[in-house]
Amino acid sequence: MREKLIIICLIFSATTLLAQNKVTNEMIVNARTLRTLIHSDPHRPSWHFVAPEGRAYPFDPNGGIFWKGKYHLGFIYQALKNGKEEHFWGHAVSTDLFHWNLYPDMLDVRDGDIEKGIFSGGAFLSKEGVPYIMYHGQGSSTNLVAYSTDEDLKNWIKFEGNPVLKTPIKGDPMHGKYRAWDPEGWYDKDADYYYQISGGNPAGFFKSKDMIKWDYLGDLIDQNNRMRYDFEDLSCPDFFQIGDKKMLLFISHNFGSQYYIGDFKSDEFIVEKHGRMNWPGGTFFAPEELKDDKGRNIIWGWVLERKPKHLENKGWGGVMSMPRVLSLSNKGDLLINPPEEVKKLRLDGISEKNISLASNQISTLDIKGKSLEIKAEFNGGNKSEYGVKVFCSPDGKEETVIKYDPIHKEIVIDFINSSKNGPVKMPAYCIRKPSLEEFVDEVSEQRVPFELKNGETLQLDIFIDNAIIEVFANGRACITQVVYPEMERSNEVKIFSGDENIKVKSVKVWKMATTNLY
């Protein structure tokens, strides 16, 4: 009898093992099939960080923190939980800002948790120097906190004092004054208080000694000094020191990324300047900031995709912008530049100097590619447009034009002919369409206010990555655009003039290394 029982157990174990192996093998095959599919998409970026698998919408960067020599970045993705799609935070880690390893999820939902999913939030250090995350608990009308005592931040523990904020219900004296939404938290050592911004319109402001009892301080932004449309919300806030000022980075769901610069005194944010990082037709959204060991303020944003319906869905979605370094000029204006680490991606390139272009002349550069860095310095005129064309097909049917308009004082990305199935039009808004009579629903170019100073040359640092364009202009602006060239040979780069003779003082172009191996 005992021998029969042993045989039965062995047979059961072997059968179970075979079944487990079958499931594992199927998962491996499916993973390889998906990887083959997504890498067959000519529009999938090769060195921008993208969703590791499947489609991610939203794909907000969150929880950015530099910790013990590593850059940690959370990102929202979607997965099934109890038969329903919910939102969680993935976790990517890098030592150089461009090559990323994947860690276990930064935040997920387990049995007994208050929330059903994880929405936006940010990381900060507690009074004791412990990494904390404050985030919105999707489906719970609460803001929550988690912390990590793990040396490598692989394990995050939900705060025992959760929730740290609830949306007031009807009958509560605070009902309608604020809501729990897209929080930002930090500890101010000078004041010896924790602070919390809870997003919305208006955004609520709070402080606490212990992160358990929070005092409401009122609206974060003086409603008489908004400097933005009244209907715009303030979501995905990120509040940090930059130079000798404070900066609030945030979005509205209508017009995307923007910021305030000012001073923080006596529990009040005194706004001095407002600016935007996204303009009609642009795709820079939900930015996240961290400060590294070099003292740099580095941000990422979710690049909203605008892929037309007639292009095949290759089973993926979700693109992060390249990292950008923020700083302030001597006059307190925002400066924005690519990080030095991007130079490590440069491969074969060309370099030319002192190119003279006659009026209305186009010159094709001796390099081709859809993943390039292009640095060009122009000494142009003041009566007509000039600039660079990328993703150009030999027959001229496809091209995207990056130009300076000296009349209107704007940097323009013109994508009307970016695809052979044009004219191309894209939503002028981000996610929510505003109700404005003067607002245009669709555009074929993104126009960004930008004025050259007297005697200043135009210095463009342009990055293209299959479908992504990021243009840095004189260190004072960065413009993000998605385009979808459909012709395989749309890989030429051109420089051009308008109605005046101009000089291209220098142009350098490098091919870029691939970093997305997943």
SS (HEC) of 345-404: HEEEEEEEEEEEECCCCEEEEEEECCEEEEEEEEECCCCCCEEEEEEECCCCCCCEEEEE
User: By three-state DSSP, how is residue 133 classified?
Assistant: strand
**Type of residue numbered 51:** A
Residue 11 has phi, psi (to 5 degrees) of: -65, -45
Which residues neighbour 4 within 8 Å (Cβ) at sequence distance 6 or greater? none
User: By three-state DSSP, how is residue 13 classified?
Assistant: helix
How far apart are the C-alpha atoms of 294 and 281, rounded to whole Å? 34
User: Tell me, what DSSP letter sits at residue 343?
Assistant: G
pLDDT value at position 81?
Answer: 84
User: By three-state DSSP, how is residue 14 classified?
Assistant: helix
How far apart are the C-alpha atoms of 368 and 509, rounded to whole Å? 9
Which residues neighbour 375 within 8 Å (Cβ) at sequence distance 6 or greater? 459, 460, 461, 462, 506, 507, 508, 509
For residues 214-231, b (16+ Cβ closer than 10 Å) or e, as one string?
bebeebbbeeeebebeee
pLDDT value at position 32?
Answer: 81
Tokens of 88: 């969680």
List the beta bridge partners of residue 259. Answer: 249, 275
What would the DSSP string read from start to end of 242-284? ETTEEEEEEEETTTEEEEEEEEEETTEEEEEEEEES--TT--E
- Within 10 angstroms of residue 464's Cβ, the number of other Cβ atoms is 26
Backbone conformation region of residue 253, classed left if phi is above 0, alpha if psi is from -120 to 50, else beta: alpha
Per-residue pLDDT of 183-194, as tens digits, reads 999 999 999 999
Tokens of 430: 């981000």
pTM (2 d.p.): 0.94
pLDDT value at position 46?
Answer: 96
Radius of gyration, CA atoms only, the chain: 25
Nearest to 494 by CA among 348, 362, 349, 353: 362
pLDDT value at position 53?
Answer: 87
List the beta bridge partners of residue 143. Answer: 136, 165
How far apart are the C-alpha atoms of 371 and 67, rounded to whole Å? 31
Q: What is the third-level CATH fold of 61-337?
A: Tachylectin-2; Chain A (2.115.10)
Q: List % helix, strand, coil for the chain (3-state, nearest 5).
A: 10, 45, 45
| Regions of the chain short of the pLDDT cut 70 | 1-23
Q: E strand or H helix at 185, and its extent?
A: strand 183-188
Q: Please say whether the beta carbons of 219 and 234 come within 8 A.
A: no
Cα angle 65, 66, 72; round to 5: 60
Q: What superfamily in CATH does domain 342-512 come from?
A: Exo-inulinase; domain 1 (2.60.120.560)
Q: Is the dihedral of CA 385, 475, 199, 66 positive or negative?
A: positive
Domain boundaries, the chain: 61-337, 342-512
How far apart are the C-alpha atoms of 35 and 316, rounded to whole Å? 10
